[in-house]
A and B are shown apart, each in its own frame.
Chain A
C-alpha cells in the first residue's frame, strides 16, 4: 500500500459520480486503517460538500463541473471541492441550531461538515472548500 493515496474526479452532477467518489475515498481510508467512526464522518461531510457544489454552486446548470481532489494517508484525509459558481459567504448562512431556525428545512450542510471534519475552510469567493479529517488514536 502506498504511503499516501490520492484521487481526482470531475463531477457533472450525477448521483453515480458522487457514489463513485465516496466509494473510492472509503476504500482508501479503510486501506489506511481508518475505523467506522471516521468513515461515517467523512462520508457525511463529503456528501454535503459535493451536493452543495452541484446544487448551490453550479445550480444544476448543464455542463457545470465540480473538481474534486483528495488524499489519504495514515494521519489524515484531505479534500478539495471546487465548483464553477459565483461562490457565497459561508458566514452569512444563518445558524440552523438557533431556536428560531429549527423549523427551517435547509441550511444544515455546512454545520455538519464543520462538526464532523477537523478543519473546514472556504476560499474566496466561496466556491472552493478545503476539508481535513485528522485521525484520532481510535478512529
Chain B
C-alpha cells in the first residue's frame, strides 16, 4: 500500500489501483488540485491502468472535484485503461445525474462489483 497523499488511500488489488478518499468533503481547491496531481503521478508510468475510485466516506463534493474526476478519466482512457467509481452516497450520486456525468463514468454500487467488472 502506498500513501501518495494524506487525502487518499491508494492500494493495489491484484492489477487494479484502488483509490479511497479519506475526507468527507472534497471542496478545497488546493486539496482537489493535490488529489489530481497525486493520482496522475501514480497512473503516469502505467499502461492500460485499471482504476477503482471509492467514495464511501465522501459527503460533499464540488464542481471542481468533478472536474478532476473528468481529467483522471481522460488520462485513463488515453492510456487504454478503465476507471470505475463505486460506493457513492445517494445524494452525491444525484450530483452525477444532474450533471449527466453518470453517462460519462462507469459507476457501481459496491467496490466488489467494480472490481468484478474490472477483472
Contact = CB atoms under 8 A, between A and B. Distances in A.
Interface residues of B, number: 22
Interface in B66-85: 66-68, 70-71, 74
Consensus secondary structure, chain B interface: helix
Interface string B43-80: 00000000000000000101110111011001000000
B99 A112 contact: yes
Given A47-B27, A102-B104, A112-B95, A40 B71 contact: no
B103 interface: yes
Interface residues of A, number: 23
Nearest to B105: A102
Residue among B27, B63, B99, B101 with max Cβ neighbours from chain A (10 Å): B63
A18 B101 CA distance: 26
Interface of B: 27-30, 60, 62-64, 66-68, 70-71, 74, 91, 95, 98-101, 103-104
